[in-house]
Structure 1
Amino acid sequence: MSNLDWGVLLFTLVVIVVYGIYKSRGAQNINGYLLGNQSLPWYSVCLSVMATQASAITFLSAPGLAYSTGMGFVQFYFGLPLAMIVLCITFVPIFHRLKVYTAYEYLEQRFDLNTRALTAFLFLIQRGLSTGITIYAPSIILSTILNINTTYTTICIGGIVVAYTVYGGTKAVSYTQMLQMTIIFCGLFVAGILVVQLLPGGVGFSKAISIAGKMGRTNAIDFKFDWNNPYTVWSGLIGGFFLQLSYFGTDQSQVGRYLTGASVSESRLGLLMNGLVKIPMQFLILLIGVLVFTFYQYNRPPVFFNSFELNKLEQSSYNPQLKVLEKKYDKAFQEKQVEVNKLNAALDREDQPVIDQQRIALKIADEQTKTVRKEVTDLMLKNDKGADINDNNYIFLSFVTKYLPKGLIGLLIAIIFLASMGSTASALNSLASTSVIDIYKRLINKEASDEKYLKASRWSTVIWGVICIAMALYASKIGNLIEAVNILGSYIYGTILGVFLVAFYVKQVGGKAVFYAAIITEIVVCICGYQKVVAYLWLNVIGCLLVVLLAYVIQQFFKKKTAAV
C-alpha cells in the first residue's frame, strides 16, 4: 500500500476508537457498562445490530463466495424479515419488561437455574468460537499487506478491540458501530462503481452481469427443494428463519444490542429497519464479487490469491515447478480469453446459438485454469503440510490492493477492519455480560457491590478476548469464513431457540423436562451435522422442533410418574 493508503487507514481507525471512547465516558456502573443505560435511539440500535452481524467476514468472504459459486448465498437471508417481525411481537417486549441484562435470566424465572446455565453455556461455546473466526478475518488483510504470518496480525488486531471494549463497554461498541456502518455503506457504493469502470471498454454493467450469468454466477434464486442444498428459497425462508430468529432472539451479542434501546418502540424500529436493509446490502456485496469475477475474465487473476502462501512457495525448492505451472496457467488463461471475446461478440450480435456454444466452451476453458490452480495447491502442501490452500477469503482483498486507486484502498481496508472491530466488540461485550450476570453473579458472588460487578465485567472481557484470540489462531483451517460461522451457529442456535419457544408458548412444560430435551437434542443435532444428513440450515429447524417435541413428551412422562406415586 502507498503512504496515502496507510494514512487513510490509520486515521480512520484512530478516529473510530477515540470517538467510541469519548462517547462512552462515564460508564460507572454495570447498567451503563452492559446496557448503555438503555438510552440509545432506534437508528443507533439498527446500525449496531447490523454491524454486529456484518463482520469483516462479510466483506472478505462474501465477494469471494460469489466469485467462486455465484449469488445463491443471498437466499440465506430470506427468513430475516419474518424473524424480525416475530422478535418485535414477542421477544423484545418481554426482555424490556423484565429489565434483564441477558436473555438467559428470563429462563431461570420461567424454568430453573439448570436451564439458564445450560443455555448460557451453549451460547458461550458458540459465540466464543465464532468470535475467534471474526478476529481472524482482518488479520488476513494485514498479513497480505505486510507479508507476515497471520499469527502476529491476529494478536495485534485482537488486542486493539479488547482494549476499547474493556474501557467503554456497550456504549463504546454501539457508538463506534454507528459511525462504522456509515463509512461502510459509502465505501461499498464507491467500490461497486469502480469495479464497473475498470472493466474493458464496451463491457458495461449489463454485459458484465450477462457474462457472469453465462458462467453460472448470477443464479440468485433456486426454487428447488433439496435437503442437501443450503442455499435455496426454501432453506432460506424456513431454515434461515429459524437461524435468524435464534440469532437475534437468543444470542446475547444481538440481544445486548437492542436492549440498549431507549424504549420498546426504539428497539422494535431498529430491528425492523435491519430486516429491511440487510438483504439489499448483502445482495450488493455479493454483486461486487460477481463483477470482480467478470473483471478477471479479461484480466489475468493470480494463480493463487493468498500472496503470503504463494511467496512461501516461490522461496522454496519447489520454485522451478511453480514457474512451469505459472506458464501453463498463462497459456490456459489466454485460451480462455479467446472464448470470452467470442462470447462478448455473440452477445453484441444477440446470436443465441453461438452464445450457447460459447457458454460451454468457456466453462471448459475455465476448468483448465482450475486444474492448474489445483496443481499449485498440491505443490504448496508438498512444501508445507500446514499451508492454507483455500484462498477464497483473499479474492476481494487481492483485487482491492492491486487495482483500486490510492487512498480508496486504505478506506476499503479500513472498512473491513471496522466491520471486524464492531462485531468482535459486540461479541466480547456479550460474552462478558453472560459470564458475569449468568455465572459469576448468579453462582459465585451473589451479594457483591455494583462496583465489583463492573470490575468483573472488565476482567471478563479481557479473559474472553485472550480466549478468542487463541481460537483465532486456528481459524485458517476451516475454509470459507462466512460459511464456517453460520455452520457453527446452526449446531447450537436451534436448540436454544427451542428452549425459548417452550418458555414463551408451552406453559405446561417445566424446567426439568426442557433441560433434558435440550441435552438430547444437542446430541442429535451434532450427530446430524457431523454425518451431513441435511444441509446445515436445516439443523436449526431440527433442533428447535425437537426440543419442543421432546420437552412436551418428557413432561407427560413426569406427570404420569407423579400420578403413579
Structure 2
Amino acid sequence: MSEFGLLNWVVLSAYLAVSIGIGAAMGRKVHSSQDFFLGDRSIPWWAIGISVVSTYVSALTFLGGPAWAYTDGLSVMAIHLNYPLVIFLVVSFFLPFFYNSGVASIYEYQEKRFGATSRCVMAGVFLISQTLTTAAVLYATSLVLEFITGVPVQTCIAIVTVAALLYTMMGGLAAVIWTDVVQAGILFAGAFIIVFQLLDQLPVPLATALSELKGQGMTNAIVTDLDFSNVTTVWSGVIAMTLFHVTIYGANQMMVQRSLAAKNIGDAKKSMMMMGYGAFFIYFLFIALGVLFYFFYQGKEFENGNTIILQFAAEYGFPGLMGLIAAAVLAASMSSLDSALNSMSTVSTLDFYKRFYRRDADDRHYLVVSRLFTIFWAALIIIPALMFASSTGSILEILSKLGSYFVGAKLSMFALGFFSKNTTERGLLVGVAVGFAVLIWVANYTDVAWPWYAAIGGVVNMVVSYVASRILDGTQAEYSEYTIAGQKKLFAETGRAEREGNWFVVPGRVDRQAYGLLVFFVLSIAFLVVFNLSIS
C-alpha cells in the first residue's frame, strides 16, 4: 500500500470525493420518483451522449480491450465495427416508440403490445443479465484496486459498490449522467497518457513495430474467413454483433433510460448518435494499445491478461500516473455501475412493485422504494462479482459472451413487436423458451463462436414465436397500434405531425442525419483495410 504513494492517493481520493459531491448536489433536485428515474428533462443532449458512451465503455474496455487484442490482434475491432449500423436502427425504430410514450421503463411497451406476462419476462431477463454484466464491471474495478493497493479483491468489491451506491441513491439519473461526464474525462485522460508513454518507451520507431506486428498477423482487422468458430471475423462483427448491440442500445433499460431524459426527440436521437460516431475511435484506441503491448512485451504471457495496462503504468509511469489510472478505471466502471443500479431500481419499482403490489401509492412512497431497490441490487451484485474473481481471461470477452445468451429473447420480443401483425403473447413466450433451449444446446455441443448466439437465438425465437402464435391464436385482424405499421396509421388518422423540428417522431421514418452513420460505417471499414495495407 505504501508503494502507491501519497500523490496517487490524493488523486484517487479527489475523484471519489467529486463523484459523491455531484450525487449530493443532484440529490437536492430529486423531489419525486420521476426526478429519480428521468431527472427534470433539462439535461443537455451532449451530456446524455457522453453518459451513453461512458456507460458501455467501462473498465471492461479499459482493461479487457487491450487484454483481448494482446492475444487476437487488431481483428478484435471487427466486433465493434457495427455501432453505426446499430445506432441507425435504434434512432429510426426504437427511440420513437419509447420517447413518445412518456414512460420511464421501456418494458411498459411490452405490456401494451403483448401483455403483462411478456412485460415481466423481459423485465426479468433484463434484471438477470444486468446483474451478471454489472458484476463483471465491479470485479474489473476491484481487480485494479487489488493490483495497486494489495487490498484483497473481495474487500475492494465491497468498497467500490458502496461508493457508487452513495451518489446513485442520492441523485438518481441526473447524478448518474453528470458523474459520467466527469468520469469520461478522467478515463480518456488516463488512456491518452498511457498511449504517449507506450509510444515513448517503444525500443524502435512505430513504423518498424507495426511492420513486425503485421508479419505476425496482428494488424489485420478485417478477417473474412467463413469460420463460425472464429470469434473475430468481419461476418460475426457486422452481422451477429449488430444484432447483439441493437439489444444493448435499443432494448436495454440502462441505455434507453438516458435518452428518455432528453428535452425532446431530437436531443434523444443526437445523444445516441454520439455513440454511433464515437465508438470506432474509442475501441480502436484500446485495441491498438493491446497490439502495441504485444510488441512491447514480445508476446510474453501474463498470469492475468487484464492487468497488462496496469503493469505498464506501474513500471513506466511518472508520479501521479498510477493514481490517475486507478481513478480512470474506477471512473469507467462506476459509470456502468451507477447506470445499472439506477435502471435496475427503475425496472424493479415500475415493472414489478408498482405494477403488481402497490398501484396507488403516492409518489413519495415510490421514491423511497426506488432508493431501497438501489440498495438491494447493490448488495446482490456482489455475489456474482466474487465469482468473477477466479477468472483470468479477458473480462471484455467474458462479459460479451454472457450477454449473448439473453440477446435472442430481447431481439425477438422487440422485432416481432415492431413488425409482426400475427405474433401474440402466448406464441412469443413459447418462442423465448425454445430459443433458450436451443442456445444451451449450441453452447454446449457445437463449436459455434459466441457472437453468433445472438443471431441463432433471435432467428429461433422469431420463427418459433410466429409459428406458435398462428397455431395457438390464429390470424390477427389488423396490426396492433404498437407496431410500426400501426403507429404510421395512427399518425395519419389523428393528423399528428410526423416531425418535431428536423427529426421524425413516428417510428420507422429515417432522419436525414441518420444516413451519415451508414457512410461512416463504410469509411471505418475502408480505413482498417487501408491501414493494414499501408504497413510495409
> Which category of TM-score, normalised to the shorter sequence, fits these structures?
0.7 to 0.9
1:101 partnered with 2:14: no
User: 1:66 maps to what in 2?
Assistant: 69
CA–CA separation in structure 2 for the residues paired with 1:260 and 1:272: 15
Q: Which secondary structure state, in structure 2, belongs to the residue aligned with residue 405 of structure 1?
A: coil
Query: Is the 8 Å Cα contact of residues 43 and 261 (structure 2) preserved in structure 1?
Result: yes
Per-residue CA deviation, residues 252-301 of structure 1 (Å, 9 max, x unaligned), is 1111122121111111111112111111110111111222222223xxxx
Amino acid corresponding to residue 406 of structure 1 in structure 2: P
1:401 partnered with 2:314: yes
Per-residue CA deviation, residues 413-438 of structure 1 (Å, 9 max, x unaligned), is 21101001100100111111111111
Query: Is the 8 Å Cα contact of residues 165 and 378 (structure 2) preserved in structure 1?
Result: yes
1:463 partnered with 2:376: yes
For residue 24 of structure 1, report the CA deviation from its aligned partner. 4.5
Per-residue CA deviation, residues 103-151 of structure 1 (Å, 9 max, x unaligned), is 1110001111110101111111100111111111111111112223211
Query: Is the 8 Å Cα contact of residues 80 and 240 (structure 1) preserved in structure 2?
Result: no
Amino acid corresponding to residue 454 of structure 1 in structure 2: L
User: 1:242 maps to what in 2?
Assistant: 243
Query: Is the 8 Å Cα contact of residues 491 and 529 (structure 1) preserved in structure 2?
Result: no
For residue 88 of structure 1, report the CA deviation from its aligned partner. 0.5
Query: Is the 8 Å Cα contact of residues 345 and 370 (structure 2) preserved in structure 1?
Result: yes
User: 1:91 maps to what in 2?
Assistant: 94
User: 1:453 maps to what in 2?
Assistant: 366
Amino acid corresponding to residue 228 of structure 2 in structure 1: W
For residue 210 of structure 1, report the CA deviation from its aligned partner. 2.1
CA–CA separation in structure 2 for the residues paired with 1:153 and 1:117: 34
User: 2:344 maps to what in 1?
Assistant: 431
CA–CA separation in structure 2 for the residues paired with 1:288 and 1:212: 13
For residue 490 of structure 1, report the CA deviation from its aligned partner. 0.4
User: 2:483 maps to what in 1?
Assistant: none
Amino acid corresponding to residue 73 of structure 2 in structure 1: G
User: 1:503 maps to what in 2?
Assistant: 417
Which of the residues 133, 137, 142 maps onto 1:139?
142
Query: Is the 8 Å Cα contact of residues 408 and 435 (structure 2) preserved in structure 1?
Result: no
Query: Is the 8 Å Cα contact of residues 495 and 540 (structure 1) preserved in structure 2?
Result: no
Query: Is the 8 Å Cα contact of residues 60 and 137 (structure 1) preserved in structure 2?
Result: yes
Query: Is the 8 Å Cα contact of residues 68 and 392 (structure 1) preserved in structure 2?
Result: no
Per-residue CA deviation, residues 42-94 of structure 1 (Å, 9 max, x unaligned), is 21121111111011111011112222221221111122111101110111111
Which stretch shifts more, 248-257 or 455-464? 248-257
For residue 460 of structure 1, report the CA deviation from its aligned partner. 0.3
CA–CA separation in structure 2 for the residues paired with 1:404 and 1:107: 51
1:123 partnered with 2:126: yes
Per-residue CA deviation, residues 309-359 of structure 1 (Å, 9 max, x unaligned), is xxxxxxxxxxxxxxxxxxxxxxxxxxxxxxxxxxxxxxxxxxxxxxxxxxx
For residue 536 of structure 1, report the CA deviation from its aligned partner. 0.8
CA–CA separation in structure 2 for the residues paired with 1:47 and 1:531: 41
CA–CA separation in structure 2 for the residues paired with 1:80 and 1:14: 34
Query: Is the 8 Å Cα contact of residues 27 and 169 (structure 1) preserved in structure 2?
Result: yes
User: 2:403 maps to what in 1?
Assistant: 489
CA–CA separation in structure 2 for the residues paired with 1:170 and 1:294: 42
Amino acid corresponding to residue 277 of structure 2 in structure 1: L
User: 2:16 maps to what in 1?
Assistant: 13
Which stretch shifts more, 287-296 or 154-163? 287-296
RMSD: 1.8
Q: Which secondary structure state, in structure 1, belongs to the residue aligned with residue 254 of structure 2?
A: helix
Per-residue CA deviation, residues 505-560 of structure 1 (Å, 9 max, x unaligned), is 10222211112211221221222123344111111111222222112111211245
1:440 partnered with 2:353: yes
User: 1:105 and 1:560, CA in 2 relative to 1: closer, same or farther beyond 3 A?
Assistant: closer
User: 1:114 and 1:403, CA in 2 relative to 1: closer, same or farther beyond 3 A?
Assistant: same
User: 2:486 maps to what in 1?
Assistant: none
User: 2:206 maps to what in 1?
Assistant: 205
User: 1:214 maps to what in 2?
Assistant: 215
User: 1:273 maps to what in 2?
Assistant: 274
Amino acid corresponding to residue 476 of structure 1 in structure 2: A
User: 1:166 and 1:494, CA in 2 relative to 1: closer, same or farther beyond 3 A?
Assistant: same
Per-residue CA deviation, residues 127-181 of structure 1 (Å, 9 max, x unaligned), is 0111111111111111112223211111111111111111111111001001211
CA–CA separation in structure 1 for the residues paired with 2:342 and 2:78: 30
Per-residue CA deviation, residues 350-402 of structure 1 (Å, 9 max, x unaligned), is xxxxxxxxxxxxxxxx6xx65xx8xxxxxxxxxxxxxxxx5011111111112
CA–CA separation in structure 1 for the residues paired with 2:75 and 2:161: 32
CA–CA separation in structure 1 for the residues paired with 2:258 and 2:400: 20
Give the number of aligned pairs: 473
Amino acid corresponding to residue 328 of structure 2 in structure 1: I
CA–CA separation in structure 2 for the residues paired with 1:152 and 1:446: 39
For residue 561 of structure 1, report the CA deviation from its aligned partner. 11
CA–CA separation in structure 2 for the residues paired with 1:245 and 1:521: 18
TM-score (norm 1): 0.81
For residue 409 of structure 1, report the CA deviation from its aligned partner. 2.2
Long gaps (5+) in structure 2: 477-536
CA–CA separation in structure 2 for the residues paired with 1:435 and 1:131: 16
For residue 445 of structure 1, report the CA deviation from its aligned partner. 1.2
CA–CA separation in structure 2 for the residues paired with 1:4 and 1:194: 19
Query: Is the 8 Å Cα contact of residues 139 and 157 (structure 2) preserved in structure 1?
Result: yes
Amino acid corresponding to residue 401 of structure 1 in structure 2: A
Structure 1 consecutive aligned stretches of length 4 or more whose deviation exceeds 6 Å: none
Equivalence map 1:29-40=2 (5 Å): 29-40=32-43
Query: Is the 8 Å Cα contact of residues 424 and 473 (structure 2) preserved in structure 1?
Result: no
Amino acid corresponding to residue 99 of structure 2 in structure 1: H
User: 1:531 and 1:165, CA in 2 relative to 1: closer, same or farther beyond 3 A?
Assistant: farther
Query: Is the 8 Å Cα contact of residues 242 and 540 (structure 1) preserved in structure 2?
Result: yes
Query: Is the 8 Å Cα contact of residues 513 and 551 (structure 1) preserved in structure 2?
Result: yes
Which stretch shifts more, 408-417 or 213-222? 213-222
Query: Is the 8 Å Cα contact of residues 197 and 316 (structure 2) preserved in structure 1?
Result: no
Query: Is the 8 Å Cα contact of residues 9 and 323 (structure 2) preserved in structure 1?
Result: yes
User: 1:530 and 1:27, CA in 2 relative to 1: closer, same or farther beyond 3 A?
Assistant: farther
Which of the residues 321, 330, 333 maps onto 1:420?
333
User: 1:459 and 1:277, CA in 2 relative to 1: closer, same or farther beyond 3 A?
Assistant: same
CA–CA separation in structure 2 for the residues paired with 1:161 and 1:559: 47
Per-residue CA deviation, residues 449-498 of structure 1 (Å, 9 max, x unaligned), is 11111111100010000001122111123432111111111000121111
Amino acid corresponding to residue 399 of structure 1 in structure 2: F
Q: Which secondary structure state, in structure 1, belongs to the residue aligned with residue 40 of structure 2?
A: helix
Q: Which secondary structure state, in structure 2, belongs to the residue aligned with residue 473 of structure 1?
A: helix
TM-score (norm 2): 0.85
For residue 190 of structure 1, report the CA deviation from its aligned partner. 2.4
Amino acid corresponding to residue 418 of structure 1 in structure 2: A
Equivalence map 1:291-310=2 (5 Å): 291-297=292-298
Which stretch shifts more, 216-225 or 86-95? 216-225
For residue 216 of structure 1, report the CA deviation from its aligned partner. 3.1
User: 1:310 maps to what in 2?
Assistant: none
Amino acid corresponding to residue 424 of structure 1 in structure 2: L
CA–CA separation in structure 2 for the residues paired with 1:209 and 1:6: 36
Query: Is the 8 Å Cα contact of residues 53 and 274 (structure 2) preserved in structure 1?
Result: no
Which of the residues 516, 528, 531 maps onto 2:442?
528
Larger Rg: 1
User: 1:191 maps to what in 2?
Assistant: 194
Query: Is the 8 Å Cα contact of residues 209 and 290 (structure 1) preserved in structure 2?
Result: no
CA–CA separation in structure 2 for the residues paired with 1:194 and 1:17: 31
Which of the residues 47, 58, 73 maps onto 1:44?
47
For residue 38 of structure 1, report the CA deviation from its aligned partner. 2.7
For residue 251 of structure 1, report the CA deviation from its aligned partner. 1.2
